Every structure is written in structure tokens, then in C-alpha cells.
A and B are shown apart, each in its own frame.
Chain A
Amino acid sequence: MKKLSLLLAVCLILGMLVGCNSADVGKEVPDGGQVSEGNSSGTPKKGGTLIVGMTGDPSTYNPDYQADGYLQPISENIFNRLIKVTNKQEVVPDLAKSYKVSEDGKEITFYLNENVKWHDGAPFSSADVKFTFDTIIKEGGQLAGSLTSVEEITTPDDNTVVFKLKNNDSSLIGYLAWDACYIMPKHIYEGTDWSENPANQNPIGTGPFKFVKHEKGVSVTLERNDEYWGDTAYLDKVVFSIIPDANTAVQALYNKELDILGVEPPLSEAQSFEADSDIKVGKQYWPSRYYMFFNVKDSIFKDAKLRQAVSLGIDKDDIIRKAMKGIGEKSNTAMTPMYDWALNTTDVFPERDVEKAEKLIEDAGYAKNSNGMYFETTIDVFNIEPFTDIAVIIRDNLKDIGIDVKINMMEEAAWDEKIWYGRNYDVSLLAGYQGPDPGALTTRFSTGALINLMGYSNPKLDVALEKGASYVSEEDRAPYYIEVQKYIVEDVPVVPISEYISIAPYQSYIVGHPTSEEAIDKTGFHEYTYVWINK
């Protein structure tokens, strides 16, 4: 209890330091709208094994080396970060009990928890933190692209780490709380090739669970770390069961072979989960909205009028209802609404208007042919649900405004080659993480940025983004991001479609799921420290 209140106090301090009060950041998504049993079910019970589904094998247990969606849920339980982000998309303490940003924003000091031990018994210290980030930068780890502002990392003492920055980088905190920056043991990795260290198959972390074994294609087993420096977990074991087919995983959940589904269920199953009293449905709201984007550099959509017409022609409600089975939320703002302190709610994308859309196309110099169509275009999509279904609805929507859309479905690798690298397309669809901060707009909209697949360039927007990143406080930064969103709405390089909400079904006897009230303020997306089995 003492630890808990300490943690809460730290949360509060941290919250004030970041300048974001927990009440006004992010979206609070209640636990499937159901009354949580955690409060009425009394004291947590220790023990038991939790079985969680997963669609594939993690390829390595080096958590910072490469992006690996299969490793992330495991990393959160074996390792710790300095700070971590919760399902409310709030940043809370992890190994760092607090941190401080200097006035000019060029120095971030992290104060670490004391008496932290690695799973092999070795003591943890600030040297591990420095080693981790130095290695990520030197070896080109997954997060390296987001650490370019870091000039030097120093360790004044065993429990303090200072990040010295070349320039103020307000997005850094968000990235440090996200993925691929788990603190790695220096005493194991130092002087070795981090891509081939044996620990990559037998990881040593500081987290609430220890790695036990990985049977390829079958399961990954973790056990409770009784020496954990924070709140000790209730569960004896967490077993990730590898089931590649989502339909099979859903049946395994119904048949009680899984406690937590763990994989993204087919959207068509969503309603049946809600109807099943044995199953609770957690919701996770991500800054990973679905959007449509145009090749503004070299395609028929060079003409802004046509892009505006498409934006007016798309029926987002229809898409969410039919293609996404209601698991979504209409996006009209130019940025994810999760960062509401920087959200522009004045300049937004318009509602559907067929007449206006047709007029714009005619203004652009097109006339209807004998089939009643102005022109023809192709939308390239990867063959993953719900992108394919979204494309079908878009085709129907745009037929109404006289655009004849052909759908070209392709495998992800082929899509990469044609769109990401080849930029040989008219229009396509994408989602993906667009956080952890409004600064992420840079990655997708500034001139020449890595995910600016549109080839979009607006010098005024570039300047505003740079300014937005150069200040520390939200009040100072917000106006620039609001300006950026205005340009996006004016220029229409993309049309946002829906926010990304994922549903996380689990058995009703599971208490403390990371999306539930009991744990949402304290744990990472898939961290099972507070989970216990109530039966």
C-alpha cells in the first residue's frame, strides 16, 4: 500500500512536470461499458497461470534491435523502460521515478528507482541506461531515428541519468515511453554483437516477470519475478500461446483455452463478444488513425480540387459501419484527437457533400463520359482487413461523385515496393502509429519526411512544425501545431477516415486487465502485473 501511494504521488508529480494533468489528456475508454468486477471481488488472489493468445513467434528477445509486434507484449512484462505509456496514452513512471526538463529544454534528467535488480541478480544502475541508448544510437536500433536530437547521455551518479540534447525535442519523452527503448543489461551485452548475443534468446530484464522458455511455434512462458522492485505480480505464470489464425484464436477464447485473446480479432466477431456474458471486452484507443493519402507529386491528384472532391465524396460513417463493423470513430480533425491540447477543432475536414464534390471536379476541367464518370483511378491497398473492406466502400462512395475507382489489392511486401519506395500510385490507404505527441505530424507531413509518402511539401507547414518542436510547454507549442493542421485541411494531402480502436476480449474471471479500471493508470499496453484470476 505504501508503495502504491508512493507510486501515485510520483505519478502526480510526473504529471505536473510533463504539464499534462491526467484528467485532460487522452481519451478515457471505459472497460467495454461493463461494470468492472474488480471492485466488488475483494482482495486479489495470488497464483495461477494466465494464457494469452499471440499470432506469431517473437524472432528475437533483444527488445531494442528491431520492430517486432510479437515481442512487444512480452517485452513489457520482462523489461522496463524509463517511463511508459498506458492504455490511456498517458506517460507514467517506470524505472525512472521522476524526471525533470531544464528551462531551455535541452537537458532531461531522470531520477531512477533504487534497489533495482536484474533477473540474474546483478544490480541495475544508470550505466545500464546509458549503455542501452548509446547502443541503440550506435547500432541503428529501431528507435535510432527518433533519438537524433540526443547529443550525449551522462550519469552523474548510479541513480541519475541526464540526456543532453542538441536542440529542444519535445517529442522525445513520448518516444522514450513507447517501444524499442527497454533498458538492457550492460553486463551481458557490453562488448558483444547485440544482434547475436545469446541473451537474445534467453533475455535478462528487470521487469515483473522472468523469461522461462520459448517453444517455437507453440508458446512463450514467463514466471513471476519475486524479487521485483515495484509491485509484485499476482500471477505465477504468464504463457503466450501462439495461434496464427485469428478465427481459431477466437474459438480458443470461447472454449476457455485462452484467458486473454491477445490478438486482433476479426472485426465481424466484435458483436458476439459483447453478447457473451462470459467475456469482457477492453478497448484500446490508439493514435494510429486510418487515412487515405494521395500522390500529390505525380498523379492525377496533383490537382488540389480533385483531392477536395474525394474528401467530400467519402462517407466515413458508412465506412465505419460497414467496413469496420462499428469499431471506429469518425476522423474529421487533421490530427488524432488524443492530443487535445494541440487539436485544431476549427479547421476540420468537411462532411460529405456530393454536389459540391461534383462541382469541384467540373471546375478542375473534367466532364462526365457516357457512363456518368469524370475520370478513373486506382486505389492500392494491402490485403489486410479492414483496409480491403474500406477500399470497397470508398469505391462505392466515389462512384456517387463520378469517380471510377479500381481496387488493386496487394501483399504488404509488394505494396512497400510500389508505394513506399516506388511512389508509383494515385491513392492508397494507411494507418500506423501517429504518436506519441503532435510532433509526430513531422514524420508524415514535413517535406521529404520518411512517411510523407504523398510527396507533399508546404514550406509554411515545415516552419510551423520546426517551431512547434522548439518549445517546451504545451501552451507555447500548441499554436504551431494548430497552424499545421490548418494547412493539412487546406491542402488535403490526406483524408482521415477513422480513429483506430482495438478491442481486447478476455474472460470475465480476469481482473486487472491493462484496459480495466484497476490497471489502466499503472501499466503498459500489455503488462500483466496487476492481473489476477478471480475464480
Chain B
Amino acid sequence: MARYLRRRILTGILIILVSLVINFMLIHLAPGNPISLLAGKDNPSQEMIDALTEKYGLNDPIHIQFISYVKTLLKGDLGYSIMSSEPVSKLIFEKVGPTLLLALTSILLAVVIGTASGIFAARKRGSLFDVTMNGLSYVFDSTPSFWLGLMLILIFASKLKIFPTAGMVDLRAQHEGIAKAVDILWHLTLPLITVTLIQIPYYFRIARASVIQTMSEDFITTFRAAGMKENKIFKKYIFKNAILPTITVFGINLAYVISGVAIIEIVFAWPGMGRLMMTAISKRDYPLLMGIYLILSVSIAVCMIVVDLIYAVIDPRIRYD
């Protein structure tokens, strides 16, 4: 088990290093540069462009820039954002909370609702519930998230006036304490519903398919023939086997969750990291973007290791490989 873990961690570190190099090169090779975007089109000043290009070392060859980036990184410093001249770590740290609140809550809801309904549908295969859920899963799977978000705003905020349109807090009321927490949850509702609805279909279909597949395995037929109770077969044998693919998908999605909610954060003016990333991309804020990608690749690596470990615990076949 220790050897298994060691190997997984080494792979993880390798992934982070490789992605660091690739990200750096790709970002810098993309057309455009942050300084010309900063200078704008209204009244750009060559003096300012020169001063800033010099300051951020953007005239140096790319490998020199990479080396100096890695040097500061080794000191534990993610550098300064070009857009705001603020430390990258501070900018990212400020946005992690809202993103995790939205992304984690939604992925947990989606995995619970999706898997439960998937299992239920599989056990009642062909029932009205199964047919309806199957249809709905395709509808939401093919719905663009920004469109769904806007529709929910139009229905629940503009027409029915139940929920707020956008943002995280009521700026007029400026609540404090518990009232503020309630206010945030209130604002969280619509974006949360959007992200959850979009994600449920994955979990629904995976759970449904793997339960159906496991139910048709020979050993299950044998249990049935031996007269074992349907409930016991399900709890003890089907569920354990059928849940493995869900865990894999959950692990992968967990890692992509931050970038995945970016569009929804923009539609609902939710102050998260996805939005920060989109702005950083369009403004070519190299240090900020590198910082975000580094955090993403670290979290992807960590999630993969954790999923592998859970897998090994649930399924002994893997750890004795």
C-alpha cells in the first residue's frame, strides 16, 4: 500500500511539473501581450508601454522569463499580477471561498441526487420514472449552462421575483452576521440550481448504466438463483460494484470544478475564481494565470491521488496489483 501511494504521489508531482512548463509556454506563445491590452485603444502611451514592458521583463527571451519565474516560485512567491500590481496569491485566495461554496455544494448535490435517482431508475427499469428521468437527463445535458442561468434569472428573479438577479449580497441592505450568511445563501440559490442541474445527468446516467450492468452479471444471477433476497443482493453486491465508476467521475469533476463554474460565475456575478481566470486569460495577465493554473494542476493531482486511494480501499483488486 505504501509503495502504491508513493508511486501515485510521484506521478502527481511529475504531472504538476510538466503542466507548469507547458502552461508557461502556451500562455506566452498566445498572440497579444498584457501591456498593450493595459494601454488600451483610447490614448495609448508609448512611454507607459515601454516602462511596463521593462518592469515585467517581457522583452527577455522566453526561457529567461521561465527561469526567473521558477526562481521566484521556489521562494514560495507566485509573483505580482500585471493588471493590478497585487500579489497573485492574495488575488486567488480572495476568490477561493465563493468558488468552493458554489462548486462543492453543487457537485455534492449533483452526485447525491444524480446517483440516487440513477440507481432508483435502474432498479425500476422501464418505469415512468426511469423514462422521464432519462429524457430529462438528455435535455439538461445538452443545455448550455449560461442559457439555463439566464432563463432561471428571467423566471425566478424577473417574473416571479422570488430570488435576487445576481451577486452574492444585497448591496442596499448590507447585512451583517447571520443575516449576511442567510443573504449569501439566498443569492447562492439560482447559480447553485443551475450548476447542479447541469451536472446531475452525468451521475444519473453513470449510476443507472453501471447498476444495470452489474445486475446482469453472472454472479448476481447466481445469487438470485440461490434465493438470496433482492435487497441483500443490492446492498451487498450490486451497490459496491456499481459505485466505482461514480467515484472516478466524481474525482475527475472535483478537480475541474473550479474552471467548470466560470461561465455560471459570470452570468450570476458570483465573485469566484473562474471569473478571475477568464479575466486573466483575456487580459493575458501571465503571472496571475500561471498562479491559477498551478493551483488547478495541484488540485487535479491531489484529487487523482485521493480518488486512487479511495478506489484502493473499496476495491482490493487494485492495491494488490
- Residues on A close to B: CB < 8 A? 49, 51, 56-57, 59-60, 66-67, 69, 139-146, 175, 178-180, 195-196, 200-201, 215-219, 239, 241-245, 247-249, 251-252, 254-255, 257, 288, 411-418, 420-421, 430-433, 443, 450-451
Q: How far is the CB of B84 from chain A (nearest CB, A)?
A: 4
B32 beta carbon closer than 8 Å to chain A:
yes
A-B contact pairs, 28 of them (CB 8 A): A49-B172, A57-B84, A66-B52, A67-B38, A69-B40, A140-B47, A140-B50, A144-B48, A145-B44, A195-B85, A200-B85, A216-B94, A216-B95, A217-B98, A242-B167, A243-B166, A243-B167, A244-B266, A248-B166, A248-B268, A249-B166, A252-B166, A255-B165, A257-B165, A411-B31, A420-B36, A433-B42, A443-B43
B33 beta carbon closer than 8 Å to chain A:
yes
Residue pair A248, B267 in contact (C-beta under 8 Å): yes
Q: How many A-B residue pairs have CB under 8 A?
A: 174
Q: How far is the CB of A432 from chain B (nearest CB, A)?
A: 4
Residue pair A411, B45 in contact (C-beta under 8 Å): no
Q: How far is the CB of A146 from chain B (nearest CB, A)?
A: 6
On whether A142 and B45 interact (CB within 8 A), knowing A218-B169, A255-B158, A418-B31, the answer reads yes
Q: How far is the CB of B148 from chain A (nearest CB, A)?
A: 13
Residue pair B165, A433 in contact (C-beta under 8 Å): no
Please, which residue of chain A has its CB at the minimum distance from the CB of B49?
A: A140
Please, which residue of chain A has its CB at the minimum distance from the CB of B278?
A: A244
Question: CA of A433 to CA of B279 in the docked complex: distance in angstroms?
Answer: 23
On whether A413 and B30 interact (CB within 8 A), knowing A145-B44, A432-B42, the answer reads yes
Please, which residue of chain B has its CB at the minimum distance from the CB of A140?
A: B51
Chain A positions within 8 Å of B52 at CB level: 66, 140
Residue pair A60, B85 in contact (C-beta under 8 Å): yes
Residue pair B85, A217 in contact (C-beta under 8 Å): no
Residue pair A142, B165 in contact (C-beta under 8 Å): no
Chain A positions within 8 Å of B45 at CB level: 140-146
Residue pair B37, A412 in contact (C-beta under 8 Å): yes
Q: Which of A239, A257, A411 has a CB less than 8 Å from the CB of B166?
A: A257
B127 beta carbon closer than 8 Å to chain A:
no
Q: A59-B86, A180-B43, A451-B41 are in contact. List 20 more A-B contacts (CB 8 A).
A: A57-B84, A67-B39, A142-B40, A144-B47, A146-B45, A200-B85, A217-B95, A239-B171, A241-B167, A244-B275, A245-B267, A248-B166, A251-B157, A255-B158, A257-B164, A411-B32, A412-B37, A414-B32, A416-B33, A430-B41
What 6 pairs across the A-B complex have the smallest Cβ distances?
A: A413-B32, A217-B271, A145-B45, A140-B51, A59-B84, A67-B40
Chain B positions within 8 Å of A140 at CB level: 45, 47-48, 50-52
Q: How far is the CB of A130 from chain B (nearest CB, A)?
A: 19
B153 beta carbon closer than 8 Å to chain A:
yes
Interface size range of chain B in the complex: 35 or more
On whether A145 and B32 interact (CB within 8 A), knowing A217-B276, A242-B271, A251-B166, the answer reads no
Question: CA of A215 to CA of B269 in the docked complex: distance in angstroms?
Answer: 13
Residue pair A251, B154 in contact (C-beta under 8 Å): yes
Q: How far is the CB of B175 from chain A (nearest CB, A)?
A: 13
Residue pair B32, A216 in contact (C-beta under 8 Å): no
Residue pair A145, B48 in contact (C-beta under 8 Å): yes
Q: Which of A139, A252, A417 has a CB less than 8 Å from the CB of B51?
A: A139
Please, which residue of chain A has its CB at the minimum distance from the CB of B171?
A: A239
Please, which residue of chain A has its CB at the minimum distance from the CB of B168?
A: A218
Residue pair B37, A142 in contact (C-beta under 8 Å): no
Residue pair A257, B42 in contact (C-beta under 8 Å): no
Residue pair B282, A411 in contact (C-beta under 8 Å): yes
Question: CA of A420 to CA of B37 in the docked complex: distance in angstroms?
Answer: 11
Question: CA of A217 to CA of B55 in the docked complex: distance in angstroms?
Answer: 27
Q: How far is the CB of B92 from chain A (nearest CB, A)?
A: 11
Question: CA of A433 to CA of B98 in the docked complex: distance in angstroms?
Answer: 37
Q: How far is the CB of A189 from chain B (nearest CB, A)?
A: 14
Please encode chain B, from 149 to 182, with 1 for each CB lying within 8 Å of some chain A CB and 0 for all others: 0100110011001001111110110000000000
Q: Which of A217, A431, A451 has a CB less than 8 Å from the CB of B275?
A: A217
Q: How far is the CB of B161 from chain A (nearest CB, A)?
A: 7
Please, which residue of chain B has its CB at the minimum distance from the CB of A255?
A: B165
On whether A66 and B271 interact (CB within 8 A), knowing A200-B85, A411-B32, the answer reads no
Please, which residue of chain A has its CB at the minimum distance from the CB of B32?
A: A413
Chain A positions within 8 Å of B157 at CB level: 251, 255
Please encode chain B, from 280 to 300, with 1 for each CB lying within 8 Å of some chain A CB and 0 for all others: 001110000000000000000
Chain B positions within 8 Å of A432 at CB level: 41-42
